[in-house]
Amino acid sequence: MTPPAGLTTLLPTMSVVRQFNALTKPRVIQLIVFCALIGMVLAVPGVPDGAQVRLAAIACLGIWLVSAAAAAFNCIVEQHIDAKMKRTSWRPTARGELSNTQTLIFSALLCSAGSAILYFWVNPLTMWLTFATFVGYAVIYTVILKPMTPQNIVIGGASGAMPPVLGWAAMTGDVGPEALILFLIIFLWTPPHFWALALYRVEDYRKSGLPMLPVTHGSEFTRLHILLYTWVLFAACLLPFMYGMSSWLYLAAAVVLSIWFCVYAWRLLRNYSDTLARTTFRFSLIHLSALFAALLLDHYLL
């Protein structure tokens, strides 16, 4: 049975929409916006009023657009690397489904729209910080650091740690010490999170030619550094309580989650397997999400 003419034209259109959506790396962007929203909520004492809710919604939209633009630009730069790696070979740029010109225009439109929203409807500081994050991720990390040094994810992690700072700036017009504490937590969380992934994807990275830590220094060295970072991260996760940003509810969650992460890292060092590395990577996502959710609950319940 032949589909209706209208449906045959709709299906290719839907396919193109999915391809452009894939360029934005939706799951990564969801975590970015969530972390930015936590910064917004913590910046407002008590329950936000209607105006503050509208401001937060507009800021989330602007941050989402600029972050999506950075992700799309990253797909252009890394298309040949993506094509060599099983984890990323499905991306439209790696498969040649979308051209560099299409992707660049898409990225430019998203970045322009998001920057305009942040500048005119939020505040200039948030726009400039968000744009600096775009440059840090799409250019400094992707183009310069990633192919140059095995410490790429450590240095480049500064861009990924910016969302709470952006959220805080959106609501207050400045960057307070509370926002920097949240920045520090994500900055220290990024290496053990990403290195766990790199461990069980090491052959992909070897084929790509990228100097990731498991490729350049080996599995045991990487696993040791994951453990060391989880210990330092544990200390950083206590700072919101020590600074007075939170109370016992967050502290209890931070201690449990951080000990759990350290246990995973210790097991990874002592008895490695790809399955355990994959489980550690997945838990790292739970760790950060649950940690910030605990901050949110603590903020409203206590």
- Could you tell me the pTM of the whole model? 0.87
99 sits in which H/E element: none
pLDDT per residue, tens digit, the chain (302 aa), is: 444 444 334 334 448 888 888 888 888 888 899 899 999 999 998 888 999 999 999 999 999 999 999 999 988 888 887 777 777 777 888 888 888 889 899 999 999 999 999 999 999 999 999 999 999 888 888 888 888 888 888 888 888 899 999 999 999 999 999 999 999 999 999 999 999 999 999 988 888 788 889 999 999 999 999 999 999 999 999 999 999 999 999 999 999 999 999 999 999 999 999 999 999 999 999 999 999 999 999 998 87
What are the start and end residues of each CATH 1.10.357.140 domain in the chain?
Answer: 18-174
Q: Which two tokens stand for residue 252?
A: 């209890």
pLDDT at site 224: 97
Q: State the alpha helices, DSSP H only, in the chain.
A: 5-23, 26-43, 50-77, 79-84, 92-95, 100-121, 124-135, 152-160, 163-172, 177-200, 202-208, 213-217, 219-237, 239-243, 248-270, 274-301
Tokens of 258: 């951080």
CA 231 to chain centroid: 21
User: In which residue ranges of the chain is CATH 1.20.120 found?
Assistant: 176-302
CA 297 to chain centre: 22
DSSP helix/strand/coil, 96: coil
pLDDT at 94: 80
Q: How far apart are CA 17 and CA 211, in angstroms?
A: 34
pLDDT score of 97: 84
Residues 6+ apart with CB under 8 A from 54: none
Question: pLDDT at position 11, please?
Answer: 37
- Give the separation between CA 129 and CA 123, rounded to whole angstroms: 10
Topology annotation, domain 176-302:
Four Helix Bundle (Hemerythrin (Met), subunit A) (1.20.120)
Domain spanning 18-174, CATH architecture: Orthogonal Bundle (1.10)
Dump the DSSP string for 19-87: HHHHHT-HHHHHHHHHHHHHHHHHHSSSS--HHHHHHHHHHHHHHHHHHHHHHHHHHHHTHHHHHH-TT
pLDDT score for 77: 84
Of 277, 208, 291, 216, the closest CA to residue 249 belongs to 291
